Amino acid sequence: MTAPGFSLKVEAVDGQARVGQLTTAHGVVDTPAFMPVGTAATVKAMTVDSVASTGAQMILGNTYHLMLRPGAQRIESLGGLRNFMRWDGPILTDSGGYQVMSLSKLRKITEEGVTFQSHLDGSKHMLTPERAIDIQNKLGSTVTMILDECTPFPATEKEAADSMHLSMRWAERCKGAFKERTGHALFGIVQGGIYADLRAESARSLIDIGFDGYALGGLAVGEGQGLMFEIAGVTTPHLPADKPRYLMGVGKPLDIIGAVQRGIDMFDCVLPTRSGRTGQAFTRYGTVNLRNARHADDHRPLDESVPCGASRAYSRAYLNHLIKSNEILGMMLLTWHNVAFYQQLMVGLRDAIRAGSLDNFAAAFQADWSRGDIEPL
């Protein structure tokens, strides 16, 4: 049984890839979709209007950050995360498990859950499946993610199996704690490391429990693009065709393109925002470091092909100046451009799937990308 008012309508397919519309309590999302990351109730260095202007329809929030500051109870009393940060569309929140493992200290995992120390003030916390869901209930998340253990890479088949089985027991507890509301969804997360059989088993376990969407977890953790594509490709056929599939934490443009070709509908990644803050711009011809002196006299816009003020209205020379001067506006403009670039990529992917030309699109993109850089002046 899944949530009413939350559904994926697949409109066209091209190979394993699908294009569709995800209907939620807080608006419709065209898929394949890329969700900019709004870690601590803000997509860093952007206003929500600016995020929406790029075409982004859904964003991601991090439970780990929000539970520590400003706190789930506080956000609930302020009307939920969407109201708190003034984002009109749907929000997906992760469970906090990934950040506990990557950011916090003194972690300990038991059957009950995971205990950890806050990276902010050293305070002790426990995240259980029930608590992870309760926090997301309080945040009012459009899509809630189950708490899982992100199996490290590398892991033996035994380690990956034990970890996956723990995640599946947690998945069931998460389902029990989830507060159903129309148009809100709970997603399961397939684990199993790089082992196709374990992935298949995990998918079956989750389908038995019943979720509104299915994520692939434990990828993009060092296994490399080839293995990631392989696991995605063998896992998606085990997932229901009428439910959204979400590849967590991915990725670079070519990662996204390859994953879409393998049937993934949803993505999130800090790359466009984080890179923007360090002067790195994504273009069809690879990434460009705007800090580099060769841009200092370049009057051309960053990338006229991207429909965004930051990409078209300012010279590379100006962006170079801002980045070299550590001006906040430099971070604002490059973040804006990068998020717009990612959204444009998703538009291209959706158009290509509709036209049945996804492989051509992917090959053309890859050829341009491998040129490695925009043309020098």
**Rounded to an integer, what distance in angstroms lies between the CA atom of residue 74 and that of residue 167?**
29
CB of 292 to a copy of itself, least distance (A): 14
State which residue, 158 or 299, has the beta carbon closest to a copy of itself: 299
Clarify whether 373 is annotated catalytic: no
State which residue, 81 or 189, has the beta carbon closest to a copy of itself: 81
| Total residue count of the chain as it appears in this document | 377
Quote the Cα angle for 356-358-362, to 5°: 160
Alpha carbon distances (Å) from 304 to 81, 126, 247, 284, 366: 34, 48, 30, 11, 19
State which residue, 187 or 318, has the beta carbon closest to a copy of itself: 318
State which residue, 185 or 319, has the beta carbon closest to a copy of itself: 319
- Cβ proximity of 287 and 281 under 8 Å: yes
Amino acid in the structure at residue 255: D
- How many CB atoms neighbour CB 252 within 10 A? 16
CB of 235 to a copy of itself, least distance (A): 36
CA torsion, points 15, 19, 23, 28, in degrees to nearest 10?
160
Residue 315, phi-psi category: left (phi > 0), alpha (psi -120 to 50), beta (remainder): beta
**Rounded to an integer, what distance in angstroms lies between the CA atom of residue 374 and that of residue 345?**
17
State which residue, 327 or 368, has the beta carbon closest to a copy of itself: 327
Residue showing tokens 């050829």: 367
Applying CB under 8 A, which residues contact a copy of itself?
40-42, 44-47, 49, 69-70, 74, 77-79, 84-86, 277, 296-297, 299, 309, 313-315, 317-318, 320-322, 324-325, 327-329, 331-333
CB of 68 to a copy of itself, least distance (A): 10
Provide the token pair at 324: 């070299």
CB of 58 to a copy of itself, least distance (A): 19
Which member of 14, 265, 268, 298 is catalytic?
268
CB of 351 to a copy of itself, least distance (A): 29
State which residue, 261 or 273, has the beta carbon closest to a copy of itself: 273
Which member of 94, 148, 212, 255 is catalytic?
94
Task: Give 309-312's long-range contacts (Cβ < 8 A, gap of 24+).
Answer: 309/336, 310/334, 310/336, 310/337, 310/340, 311/337, 311/340, 311/341
Clarify whether 359 is annotated catalytic: no
CB of 98 to a copy of itself, least distance (A): 19
**How many Cα atoms are found within 13 Å in the side-chain-facing hemisphere of 372?**
1
Catalytic residues: 94, 268
